[in-house]
Structure 1
Amino acid sequence: MVEAPPILDISPFYASDEAAKAKLVEQVRNCCLHNGFFQIVGHRVPLELQEALLKNVKDFFALSPEDKKKVHKDNTTWNRGYESIGSQILEKGTNPDLKEGFYIGEEISKDHPYFVEKKLNSGPNQWPQSLQDPETFRKVSMEYYHALHGLARDVLVILAKTLDLADDFFSEFTDGAVATLRYLHYPPQPADSDEKLSRGIGAHTDFGSVTLLMQDDVDGLQVYEKTTNEWLDVVPTKGAYVVNLGDMFQRWSNDLYISNVHRVINKSGKERYSVPFFFSGNPDYTISCLPNVRKEGEPAKYEDMTVTECVGGAYKRSYGAATAHNAQRERADVSSTAQPIAV
């Protein structure tokens, strides 16, 4: 029987027991070779901060549609703010995703080089002012963002160890790294909805290097298991993070490590909330085939590409697909309701 991604205790990473550390590295390596998914506990993100962040998420999505639209991401060209339900299609042949979101990134000003040079999703955040305590919302969001930035760097050190690379191998990649914190809300889907068309998030792989996902207590996340052609439920675990590799890391590793397909279908009958943190890396860093990932004589499968080229193109495709779908549906609705002109 194939089991869902395992829960790994990464506390040995922060300790001095080399045997325990080596065991952890081997466990992570096996997960990366198999499907690129695992859960972690024993990290340094406080449970109190996680709970405060989840309160932020629920408070924001409880706002009225009018208040959420005041900070809609369409107010920007750098993907910060509120995302309406149906804004994205991540699986070809399905309806737009049944989720709404809110994007947060590093807080930078409009004179920052990343903004001036239009680097990947870089610019000022939009902060909702209609909340009961908007300043606490902002402070908790940014404290959590920076905590996850640190955890992502720790995970990348562990990944370096799995490839017999130096602990600081990814330091240039993580220096000046762009990352995205995304609040997500999945309204419950009808129990009889067609799973082939209606998804919280359609089956997809992530775009960047690593993703760290905090779930609430409502299930719905599923990971594809290629060996048995089935979908495995990733049961929410209090305090844990679901870790998965993205397309950029698979490309980087010459397909040695896996960026695996996953989806969300919320048939729980409850509101579901989750918080992924997408670590993209320094936007100017060039992704070139890693050492120690190719067999002797095996060529690199991919051309060199910057982080911006890897991640930015994927964002545009997923949102462009939903825009085209919704426009086509609107045209069809207009056509079906049009009345013939009397002559």
Structure 2
Amino acid sequence: MAAPGVEANDRVEGGDSPPDLKESFAVGPFAPTGDPDVDAVWFPPNVWPEQVPALREAVTAYCTAMTRVAGALLELCAGALGQEPSTLRDLATHPTWTFNINRYPPMTETGTPLPGQFRIGPHTDFGTVTLLEREPGAGGLQVDVEGHGWTDAPYTPGALTVNVGDLLAHWTGHRWRAGRHRVLPPQTHAPTEDLVSLVFFFELDHDAVVTPLAPPLGRTALEPVVSAPFLRERLDA
């Protein structure tokens, strides 16, 4: 669990905003690797609330489905750039991932946001793809569109929103841009708005070596990275 005030996502970008106005229930991978040092960091046991006994079964089913969807997306991403479809999926045989149930409380609960405070501050996600099931709202998701600035994210009922993360952008040699986004604070004209989002952050195996596509396919010549240290640097921020 992450209570309000625990995270300030824009600090990954060097910002100094007040803490994000959200609370989260987080779950990680169900099957550890067997290496105690690795498992302690990337595969710790999940803690399920006794007050909601049905939550474990529902979350397990959802994350199992999202893992399949993410794997299929990695195949599509590789194929779209002329690579073997299995190129990225072969690096996700025992992947790390995180599933968040994010609640964005209403202004009647949080009080008036501080200057520069968001439900989630501006940031990019850290992994490969993020699968987002969300509720639209006045204080909802915005994306930073190149040449246009902050724009409300399109919403289609029954469809997932997909973000490109830093690790996938790195693999493309920054041909693809990690999707910078934010969630607006609760708005004065909708003080009782209470939103929930289901967020599935998919990565790769903790020890996967990600070798970026070289120019001209990749836009920038980049060095290979190992998934876990690449993610750790961002998580620590």
Normalising TM by the smaller chain, what interval? 0.7 to 0.9
Instruction: For 2:19, give the aligned amino acid.
Output: P
* Aligned residues of 1:102 and 1:184 also touching (Cα < 8 A): yes
| Match of residue 117 from structure 1 | 38
* Aligned residues of 1:225 and 1:232 also touching (Cα < 8 A): yes
Structure 1, gaps ≥5 residues long: 1-81, 318-343
Larger radius of gyration: 1
Q: What's the CA shift string for 1:243-283, capped at 9, x where partnerless?
A: 01111111111111100211001324310100110001111
Match of residue 147, structure 1, among 65, 68, 77: 65
Match of residue 275, structure 1, among 173, 195, 198: 198
User: Equivalences for 1:233-252 in 2 at 5 Å?
Assistant: 233-252=152-171
Q: How many residues align?
A: 227
Q: What's the CA shift string for 1:20-77, capped at 9, x where partnerless?
A: xxxxxxxxxxxxxxxxxxxxxxxxxxxxxxxxxxxxxxxxxxxxxxxxxxxxxxxxxx
| Match of residue 104 from structure 1 | 27
> Cα distance 1:138–1:196, how it changes in 2: closer, same or farther (>3 A)?
same
Instruction: For 1:248, give the aligned amino acid.
Output: L
Q: CA deviation at 1:93?
A: 2.3
Structure 2, gaps ≥5 residues long: none
* Aligned residues of 1:83 and 1:100 also touching (Cα < 8 A): yes
> Cα distance 1:122–1:99, how it changes in 2: closer, same or farther (>3 A)?
same
Q: What's the CA shift string for 1:265-305, capped at 9, x where partnerless?
A: 13243101001100011110011112xx511898623x222
* Aligned residues of 1:217 and 1:238 also touching (Cα < 8 A): no
Q: More helix by proportion, 1 or 2?
A: 1
Q: CA deviation at 1:138?
A: 0.5
Q: CA deviation at 1:172?
A: 1.8
| Match of residue 216 from structure 2 | 295
| Match of residue 209 from structure 1 | 128
> For 2:135 and 2:151, how far apart are their aligned partners in 1?
18
> Cα distance 1:286–1:84, how it changes in 2: closer, same or farther (>3 A)?
same
| Match of residue 78 from structure 1 | none
> For 1:218 and 1:299, how far apart are their aligned partners in 2?
37
Q: CA deviation at 1:137?
A: 1.1
Higher RCO (CA < 8 A, seq sep 6+): 2
Match of residue 189, structure 1, among 85, 94, 107: 107
Instruction: For 1:253, give the aligned amino acid.
Output: T
Q: CA deviation at 1:218?
A: 3.2
Q: Percent identity?
A: 27
Q: TM-score, normalised by structure 1?
A: 0.61
> Cα distance 1:299–1:238, how it changes in 2: closer, same or farther (>3 A)?
closer
| Match of residue 51 from structure 2 | 130
Match of residue 231, structure 1, among 147, 150, 167: 150
> For 1:253 and 1:208, how far apart are their aligned partners in 2?
13
* Aligned residues of 2:23 and 2:104 also touching (Cα < 8 A): yes
| Match of residue 285 from structure 1 | 208
* Aligned residues of 1:210 and 1:279 also touching (Cα < 8 A): yes
Q: CA deviation at 1:174?
A: 1.6
> For 2:4 and 2:31, how far apart are their aligned partners in 1?
27
* Aligned residues of 2:172 and 2:218 also touching (Cα < 8 A): no
> For 1:108 and 1:101, how far apart are their aligned partners in 2?
22
> Cα distance 1:115–1:149, how it changes in 2: closer, same or farther (>3 A)?
farther
> Cα distance 1:117–1:237, how it changes in 2: closer, same or farther (>3 A)?
same
Q: Kindly report structure 1 stretches of 4+ aligned residues shifted beyond 4 Å.
A: 190-196, 296-299
Q: CA deviation at 1:237?
A: 2.5
Specify the SS of the correspondent of 1:117.
helix
